[in-house]
């Protein structure tokens, strides 16, 4: 009977741990999150204050600030500088 109880408690603990793991992975990533560190960033910020990632850059086609995550400028269609790492 005691063994059965221990198994039951162990099973519940496993379920709780699995749920915690799931919760950790399911952190919602809003469109305004930094692609590098995941912190919420304002759409108007140029640089992420948490990891200093460049969030926006000046478009070389029209001079407007544009998100670096966009492949092409939303104002003029100019492709961004290819970043070779």
Question: Alpha-carbon distance 80 to 13, whole Å?
Answer: 50
Determine if 55 is a binding residue for Zn ion (CB under 5 A). no
9, 12, 14, 50: residue in contact with Zn ion (rule CB under 5 A): 50
- Asked whether position 40 contacts Zn ion by CB under 5 A, the answer is no
Of 56, 58, 57, 59, the residue nearest 77 (C-alpha)? 59
> What Rg do the C-alpha atoms of the chain give, in angstroms?
22
- Residues 11, 15, 62, 79: which binds Zn ion (CB under 5 A)? 62
67 scored as a contact of Zn ion (CB under 5 A): no
Q: What is the total count of residues that contact Zn ion (CB under 5 A)?
A: 14
Q: Which stretch binds Zn ion (CB under 5 A): 9-17, 20-28, 72-80?
A: 72-80
Compute the half-sphere exposure of residue 71: CA atoms within 13 Å on the CB side of its CA: 0
């Amino acid at each position: 009977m005691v063994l059965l109880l221990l198994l039951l408690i162990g099973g519940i603990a496993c379920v709780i741990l699995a749920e915690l793991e799931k919760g950790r992975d399911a952190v919602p990533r809003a469109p305004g999150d930094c692609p590098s560190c995941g912190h919420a960033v304002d759409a108007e910020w140029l640089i992420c204050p948490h990891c200093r990632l460049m969030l926006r850059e000046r478009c070389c086609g029209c001079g407007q600030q544009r998100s670096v995550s966009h492949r092409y400028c939303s104002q003029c269609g100019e492709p961004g500088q290819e970043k070779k790492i």
